[in-house]
Amino acid sequence: MITLESETDFNLHTQSNRIAVRHFSRRKTGFANLLKYIGPAFVVSVAYVDPGNVASNISGGSKFNYALIWVILWSNIMAIFLQTLSAKLGIATGHNLPEMCAKVFPKSLNCFFWMLAEIGAMATDLAEFLGATLGLNLLFGIPMFYAALLSGVLTFFICYMEKYGQKIVEIIITVLVAIICIAYLIEIFLAKPDWAQVALHTLIPSIPNKEALTIAVGMLGATVMPHVIYLHSELVQCRCKKGSFEEKKHHLKMEKIDIVIAMNIAFFVNAAMVIVSAAVFHRSGIVVETMQQAHKSLEPLLGSLSSGVFGIALLASGLSSSAVGTMAGQTIMRGFINLNIPVNLRRLITMLPALIIIGLGLNTMYALVISQVVLSFILPIPVIQLLIISGRKDLMGSLVNKPWVQALGIIITCVIVVLNALLVFFTITGRG
């Protein structure tokens, strides 16, 4: 016989279960909702862990120990800020940044912008393609020229998969980012760095000399990438519904979470590159001049596992970032001058500089570092474009930049310009 008390307990228990189920359902729905938006920032983040980063970070770590880790931290903060603005522009306007430039600026100026953006994309693709080629060479002993051709085929395959939807490309690239991340987790474990020094130099900025400045600017150019500022505003379009302000606001909120997660993973990988290089090469008195030297030096110092992991990370970063570079090039050309060429033709064109460097037997490490310095000089242009457009209420509506956001953007632009000016001054005068 069921008593009043037991019936009451049963009802309370049932109600409690219902509340728990509803709570779990909301959590599940919230997570599923987030998963719908996760992806664009992970595609973009690949550009922040590309072979140009590897070259600049290894060079910085081997020559200056942990002294330049702070550059990675501040570059990442800048990257989060700029990628958020790019995503917001795409969500607010329903167009990407090059398309908005075509609407806002004169045609002659847009042609100039397009040429600069293409130079940046070529410098980017040079670093990325060389990295993938080196990865195949170091891992499997494939001659560089044939490794370059194979890299072209593999990156074309990744780009081709976009035919089946952007989500497929996002999944492929996210897997490759995960491989890079795991690889550097292993490297850090094997390297056993001085964590007290890591913390000190992460928080306290220092530039030992003019060579350190060159590398620091290269690290900045490798971390904050011009082409993905253009691309991010394009990638959000497949999730961009031309709805109400509240819908756009929700989309932006989800994308901010996507950006924070992806960019902080990129920060970990970049910091790990400097830390491992400092702990292994600088501690052993080795100045790394080539990628091949870095790979060869790791085995006697940390074992074959470390050198193998290095090669895998280099290959994964090269393939993924090269594919993203090709996607960005398409967005840039289509947006600025309304020209669209087949992706295989573009892939062939962007391969040529790397094939020339390989054919001439030039120092690939030096080419990678210089490519990142070139990117640093081009970087202010898309940043200025982004600030002008995202600061206009007639274009952005209610998502227009607040005054403090504009001010912060101007400060970031000035920092980049000043660093580049110092680099030119030191190079010309020989001072520093």
Q: What is the pLDDT of residues 127-179, one digit of tens each?
A: 777 888 888 888 888 888 888 888 888 888 887 787 777 788 888 888 888 88
pLDDT of res. 24: 40
What's the CA gap between 347 and 172, in Å, rounded? Answer: 18
Q: What is the mean pLDDT of residues 208-229?
A: 77
Residue 31's pLDDT is 66
The pLDDT-based confidence of 238 (bands split at 50, 70, 90) is confident
According to the per-residue pLDDT averaged within each range, which of 43-47, 57-61, 252-256 is highest?
252-256
Average pLDDT over residues 228-247: 82
Residue 4: pLDDT over 70: no
Which residue carries 């990295």 as its tokens? 131
Q: Based on the number of CB atoms within 10 Å of its own CB, is 382 exposed (0-12), middle (13-18) or buried (19 or more)?
A: buried
Q: What is the pLDDT of residue 426?
A: 66
Residues contacting 276, CB < 8 A, separation 6+:
61, 184, 187, 188, 191, 193
pLDDT of residue 428: 63
Residue 152: what pLDDT? 81
Residue 338 tokens, joined: 């309304």
User: Which residues, 6 or more positions from 350, have their beta carbon under 8 angstroms from its beta carbon?
Assistant: 121, 122, 125, 129, 325, 326, 329
Q: What is the reported pLDDT for 423? A: 67
What is the rounded average pLDDT of the residues 263-291?
87
Q: Is the pLDDT of residue 314 over 80?
A: yes
CA distance 245 to 399: 8
pLDDT winner (highest mean) among 15-29, 189-203, 227-241:
189-203
- pLDDT confidence tier of residue 219, bands split at 50, 70 and 90: confident
**For range 39-68, the mean pLDDT:** 85
Closest CA to 45 of 74, 83, 77, 71: 83
Q: Please, what is the Cα angle at 286 between 134 and 210, to 5 degrees?
A: 90
Q: What pLDDT is attached to residue 105? A: 93
Average confidence score pLDDT of the chain: 81
Place of tokens 């993938």: 132
- Count Cβ neighbours within 10 Å for each residue of 54-73 and write b for 16 or more, e otherwise: bbbbbbbbbbbbbbbbbbbb
> Could you tell me the pTM of the whole model?
0.83
Give CA–CA dist 169/163, Å, rounded.
9
Under the phi-then-psi rule, with left for phi > 0, alpha for psi from -120 to 50, and beta for the rest, what region is 32?
alpha
All structural domains of the chain with their residue ranges: 39-429
pLDDT at site 365: 63
Say what the pLDDT of residue 129 is: 79
Give the residue with greater pLDDT, 124 vs 190: 190
pLDDT higher than 70, residue 327: yes
Taking Cα atoms as reference points, which of 336, 96, 332 lies closest to residue 233?
A: 96
Among residues 314, 75, 284, 37, which one has the least CA distance to residue 167? 37
Q: What is the pLDDT of residues 10-37, one digit of tens each?
A: 454 555 455 444 444 444 456 677 777 8
Look at residue 358 in the predicted model and tell me its pLDDT. Answer: 73
pLDDT at 81 over 90: yes
- Mean of pLDDT values over 347-364: 73
**Residue 427 pLDDT:** 60
In CATH terms, the superfamily for domain 39-429 is Amino acid/polyamine transporter I (1.20.1740.10)
- Percent of the chain, pLDDT > 90? 24
Secondary structure in 3-state letters for the chain: CCCHHHHHHHHHHHHHHHHHHHHHHHHHHHHHHHHHHCCHHHHHHHHHHCHHHHHHHHHHHHHHCCCCHHHHHHHHHHHHHHHHHHHHHHHHHCCCHHHHHHHHCCHHHHHHHHHHHHHHHHHHHHHHHHHHHHHHHHHHCCCHHHHHHHHHHHHHHHHHHHHHCHHHHHHHHHHHHHHHHHHHHHHHHHHCCCHHHHHHHHHCCCCCCHHHHHHHHHHHHHHCCHHHHHHHHHHHHHHCCCCCHHHHHHHHHHHHHHHHHHHHHHHHHHHHHHHHHHHHHHCCCCCCCCHHHHHHHHHHHHCHHHHHHHHHHHHHHHHHHHHHHHHHHHHHHHHHHCCCCCHHHHHHHHHHHHHHHHHHCCCHHHHHHHHHHHHHHHCHHHHHHHHHHHCCHHHHHHHCCCHHHHHHHHHHHHHHHHHHHHHHHHHHHCCC
Mean pLDDT on 340-359: 74
9-23, 111-125, 188-202, range with the lowest pLDDT:
9-23
Q: What average pLDDT does range 239-261 have in this prediction?
A: 84
pLDDT score for 199 = 93
CB distance 132 to 313 below 8 Å: no
- Half-sphere exposure in the Cβ direction for 415 (13 Å, CA): 16
pLDDT tens digits for range 367-384: 766 776 677 778 789 999
Q: For residue range 163-175, what is the model confidence (pLDDT) as tens digits?
A: 777 788 888 888 8
Number of CB atoms found within 10 A of residue 356's CB: 11
**222 close to 327: Cβ distance less than 8 angstroms:** no
234 and 162 in contact (C-beta within 8 Å)? Answer: no
Residue 222, token pair as written in the block: 């490798």
pLDDT score, position 221: 61
Identity of the residue numbered 206: S
